[in-house]
A and B are shown apart, each in its own frame.
Chain A
Amino acid sequence: GQNIDQPTEMTATEGAIVQINCTYQTSGFNGLFWYQQHAGEAPTFLSYNVLDGLEEKGRFSSFLSRSKGYSYLLLKELQMKDSASYLCADPGNSGNTPLVFGKGTRLSVIA
């Protein structure tokens, strides 16, 4: 199966660091995606991890452990505009299966 679990909501303070976790179960593995979705807007691509380890892109980093079925998205120096839903998505176990999304974590950044 492709069960994906994320916390439903998180709150963090402007300027702080927040880590959003995602666990998944899939019979095979082709990496893991993270998307950001502001209310009323389209999900936008943040990162794709196919190998274990941490990938950094500016204030956002994403980590993957395939053996543990675990990923996290790390957001540093939080800004108010980072308030959004963060979705992890599993591309499944074959070459052309569609992305399966978690329910998303709604992050609220407060002053």
Chain B
Amino acid sequence: EAGVTQFPSHSVIEKGQTVTLRCDPISGHDNLYWYRRVMGKEIKFLLHFVKESKQDESGMPNNRFLAERTGGTYSTLKVQPAELEDSGVYFCASSQDRFYGYTFGSGTRLTVV
């Protein structure tokens, strides 16, 4: 089966610009998660979708971040306007049943300059 796909793999944008990250989960996986890893720190939870509904968005840093999952398939994470501290690697993961673990995408490395 195809894995979790994220696009783009890298993005360099200027402070104040907008960036949209995309995640295509494994087909049939209802659970979709966004995580972020800032350099030197742990991977931190941002958001959890179950199908198209936001189950938990307690990790979203602020209202500059907007996540959507239209139709319960792929998800987008938009950062608008981007700030320097938003730089990091954004991982998406999906699972059918979380007790079998998550399958992660390769991540999007976002650099805000």
The interface of chain A, by Cβ under 8 A from chain B, is 4, 30-31, 33, 35, 41-45, 48, 50, 87, 91, 96-104
Contacts and interface: CB of A to CB of B under 8 A. Distances in A.
Interface stretch (B12-20, B38-46, B62-70, B73-81): B38-46
Given A97-B56, A104-B42, A41 B99 contact: no
Given A48-B100, A48-B101, A101-B44, 6 more contacts: A42-B107, A43-B91, A45-B102, A91-B99, A99-B45, A101-B35
Interface string B67-109: 0000000000000000000000001000000111111111100
Nearest to A98: B45
B48 interface: yes
B91 A91 contact: no
Interface residues of B, number: 24
Interface string B30-66: 0001010000011111001010000110010000000
B43 A87 contact: yes
Contacts of B101: 33, 35, 45, 48
B104 A44 contact: yes
Nearest to A42: B104
Nearest to A97: B56
A42 B50 CA distance: 21
Nearest to B58: A98
B42 A43 contact: no
A96 B98 contact: yes
Nearest to B41: A103
Contact of A48 (B56, B91, B99, B103): B99
B110 interface: no
B4 interface: yes
A52 B44 CA distance: 27
